Structure formats: C-alpha cells, structure tokens
Amino acid sequence: MMTAVAVAGKGGTGKTTLAALAVRYLLGKGETPVLAVDADPNANLGQTLGVEVGLTVGSMREQGFAGERDIPGGMTKDQFVEYKMSEALAESDGFDLLTMGRPEGAGCYCFANNLIRRFMDELAGGYRHVVMDNEAGLEHLSRRTTRKTDVLLVISDAGVRGIQAARRVLDLAAEMNIEVGEGMFVLNRTSNKSLAALTPEIERLKMPLVAVIPEDQGLFEAEVDGRSLLEVSGSAPAVIASNTLFDRIFALR
Ligand SMILES: Nc1ncnc2c1ncn2[C@@H]1O[C@H](COP(=O)(O)OP(=O)(O)OP(=O)(O)O)[C@@H](O)[C@H]1O
Ligand SMILES: [Mg+2]
C-alpha cells in the first residue's frame, strides 16, 4: 500500500536528513517509484538527494503565470498547471523530486499551495510512496500542504526546546484536523546519555517516541562535502537507526 510520510519539527533538527534517508530506504527496498516533495521555501532536499533542481512550483508565477491571460491558447487552466507541475518535477533513478520553491509574496504560499493541493493527489497516485520535507515552524500545517498524510514524522534534536516544539506540531496537527494517520516522534543526534536526561520531559509531554537517531560523523561529512545522502555508507549509525524506523513505518520487513 502507498504510504505518505511528512517530516516536521524545529529548525535544524534533521527534517531534510530524515526525509532523504526515507527516500534512500525505499530505493534500497526497491519500493519505487518514490515521489519526494520539498515543501520548504529554502529548498535543499534536492541537494541531499543529489538531484539538480531546475524550476520550482513557486517559480511558475515568475515564469509568466500571473493569471488566466498568460495561458497559451488552446490550453485549459488545468492543462497549463499540470504542464507547469511536470516542469517542476526532476526525474531521478527510482524517484522524482517536486520542489515547491519560494512563496509568491511575503509570507504567502497560496499560489503554489493551491496548485499543489489540487494536483498532488493526482500526481501522488502514480507513485509507490510519497515523502515530504517541510519547513520549520507550524505555518505549513495551516497552509495545509501536508494533507492526507499517513505518518507525520516530528523530529527533535537532543534538547528540551526541540521536544516542546515537536509537541506543538503534534497538537496543532490534531487541532487542525489535518488528516494524519499517525504522529511519530523522533529524537535525532541523541546519545543514550542525553536520552536519559531528556526522558522526564518526553514523558511529561507524552511524546510518542519511536526512534532515537545517533549523532553521525558520516552525515556531517557528507554535508561538509555537499555529497548526497544516497552515497553515505550503509553502515553509518544514523542510516542503520533510521532503517529500523522506516521498517516500522513502511512495514516492509
Ligand atoms: N544524526 C545526525 N548526525 C550528524 N549530523 C546530522 C544528523 N542529522 C542531521 N545532521 C546535520 O544537521 C544539519 C541540519 O540537518 P537538516 O538540514 O536535516 O535539518 P532541518 O531540520 O531540515 O533544517 P531546516 O529547518 O533548516 O530545514 C545538517 O548539517 C545535517 O547534516
Ligand atoms: Mg530542512
């Protein structure tokens, strides 16, 4: 069955890293094709997956789509939007990457989101799984880019603030009645020692902790070199730990 996973959490906690590792996992299992969606205006999932990103969904307007009058003759609005979406889709081996790009005006992502909402379901239907990376903060939840998600993976680093931010994301998702099958909490860059220190706060906030991903020098080095996470060694501790998490999410064991 198709699984749609969205990643959320405080800034810099490892959302993009976990999204890329999820794609890597699915490729390794032959669970293809995968649709990877970069819904962060500061798009960098492409880099993490070693994909060259050309157009973005958000750039459609700059590309000349300000309104109906810009639609070439003979095309309906739907056809035009579909065509533009396909232009923002970068194809790679076993997966495609859709990059949302920058919002239209200050703080407004409406244009891109209205389009993506409308065509996402249709587009997603052509894939085995969908993995969506999101921006930090909660705004994207109110913009409802993460609708119809089987698993909302909420990431925190080894800090109380990250855990509290994760709690707010889970609460907001529930409050807003966003269709999330299951909210899962992941601690990233966390040692056993820091886990012990954080456990009281995790319990106090009733966080559904499903995985602890260790600090991994290999990931750090890939970032420094600008290398894709698809190239990092399979014996890297963070890859091994996240594979166990993804076994559970995708139930492919
Ligand atoms: N388990 C880990 N071990 C070592 N480094 C990590 C680990 N997870 C993430 N990092 C590093 O932490 C930094 C931030 O990670 P990442 O970009 O995935 O976070 P993010 O939540 O997507 O950030 P943003 O909010 O800016 O989008 C990156 O340099 C990444 O390589
Ligand atoms: Mg990110």
Ligand 1 pocket test, pick from 7, 10, 16 with the greatest ligand atom count within 8 Å of Cβ, gives 16
Q: For 42-98, how does the pLDDT look when each residue is reduced to its tens digit (9 = 90+)?
A: 999 999 999 999 888 777 655 555 555 667 788 877 787 778 778 889 999 999 999
- Whose atoms come closest to the Cα of 190: which ligand? 1
CA dist 70 and 23 (Å) reads 36
**pTM of the shown model:** 0.92
- CB count within 10 Å of CB 111 equals 17
**Whole-number Å distance between alpha carbons of 40 and 132:** 9
CATH number at residue 148: 3.40.50.300
Beta strands in 105-197 (DSSP E): 129-133, 149-156, 180-188
Q: Which domain, by its residues, includes 181? A: 3-250
Query: What is the DSSP annotation of 20-76?
Result: HHHHHHHHHTT---EEEEE--SS--HHHHTT------GGGGTTTT-SSGGGSPTT--
Rounded to the nearest whole angstrom, what is the distance from the C-alpha of residue 49 to the centroid of ligand 2? 12
DSSP state letter for 105:
B
Select from 204, 162, 199 the least CA-distant residue to 14.
162
Numbers of helices and strands, H then E, in the chain = 9, 8
Which residues have any ligand 1 atom within 6 Å of their CB?
11-17, 40, 136, 188-189, 213, 215-216, 219-220, 223, 238
Q: How far is the CA of 1 from the centre of ligand 1 (A)?
A: 29
Atom of ligand 1 nearest to the CA of 155: 21
**What's the pLDDT at 77?**
74
Distance (angstroms) between ligand 1 centre and the Cα of 64 equals: 35
- Sites in the chain below the pLDDT cut of 50: 106-107, 146
Atom in ligand 1 nearest the alpha carbon of residue 42: 27
pLDDT at 153: 96
**What is d(CA 239, CA 214) in angstroms, rounded to the nearest whole number?**
9
Q: Closest residue (by CA) to atom 2 of ligand 1?
A: 215
Ligand 1 atom closest to residue 135's alpha carbon, by position in its atom list: 27
Residue holding tokens 């960098």? Answer: 44
What is the per-residue pLDDT for 151?
93
45 alpha carbon, closest ligand: 2
Q: How many CB atoms lie within 10 A of CB 141?
A: 22
Q: How far is CA 247 from each of CA 28, 113, 141, 208, 210, rounded to the nearest angstrom?
A: 12, 31, 26, 17, 12
Domain count, the chain: 1
Q: Which atom of ligand 1 is nearest to the CA of 217?
A: 4
Ligand 1 atom 5: residue of nearest CA: 220
